[in-house]
Structure 1
């Protein structure tokens, strides 16, 4: 079936939101790597400044150490803030996406169920008609074989008082036999229906090869 425009729009909105969230998460993750690297470098610079000041505690060295310590603190705060951003994005994004998924699936379930209720009676009617046509066709084959051919021949035989041996010598010799509907020497049987074929179509939606001409 073709889904409604409204449902298609909601699906597209959901996918767009997913892509947006994924893109933002990637950006924050990359930024987090950048901050982590900068923080590592700043800590190394601070360690070097501390050592330098310890060896020579003059004003310039103390100022440099102070600036290095300030930079480390700022980067630590930024790294912590970015972790909060990532957590907030995950939490908020997950909630929004869950709500959208629920909305999409609720509407999809409703649409598919309505389509099922609409189409099922039509299909059952087709099956009912096909069954009737098939059984009537089998009956016509029986009538042609047994009544219009064999019985009709023996009616004439009896009418002219022919001996049984003579009648059998020239009889059409046709009959109804089950292998006509079930035999599959070459893997094909386009007129018969077996239980296996019915169950395969019913349970897995598959038509066995050789069951229907052209498939």
Structure 2
């Protein structure tokens, strides 16, 4: 049976555009760190939900992943997803193996689910990724009736750490793993995780917010990038 979480996860950073918004500012002083897509970048396709219907609130729902198989060096990484507006419908989080033959995770988050970036910690569910194995993960927003669900999905693969990152602890931090090293190694999930941990601890860190927005833009995730920049305070 599906595990049910009666309280939706708090967003890592609530969407200020849905509440009292700060000025949206694009920083020009923070350099964009280039993400080096790995060799598997030709494989795996991200699917997002971006619905604009007359008379209805827009819906943007996306796994936060590159548009190809994303890499991690961690056995129990954190995965993140984004929703643009609050929803009063449940959200299912699922992880399967590459061939969709084994369900590793199938949990339900109950509403209300607030807008913003949400985190799923695999260690909370005892899920461990095997080395050199590809997994698909999905976020499914349930509809009012059966058959109305909306699904976003992405791909993740755990690899052996490069020699310069072999001593990182159980989760990445900007202190233990400089962002440049994670980006150069093509470790999109780990670079994003490190930035997100920094932002969760220091919500007004404009450098980390701008760097994460730049990371979003490099993989075509523009609404989440706008979301981060809306939290950058003006002078």
TM beyond 0.5: no
Higher Rg of the two aligned structures: 1
Tell me which interval the TM-score lies in, with the shorter structure as reference length. under 0.3
Under a length normalisation based on structure 2, what TM-score does the superposition of the two structures give? 0.16
**TM-score w.r.t. length of structure 1:** 0.17
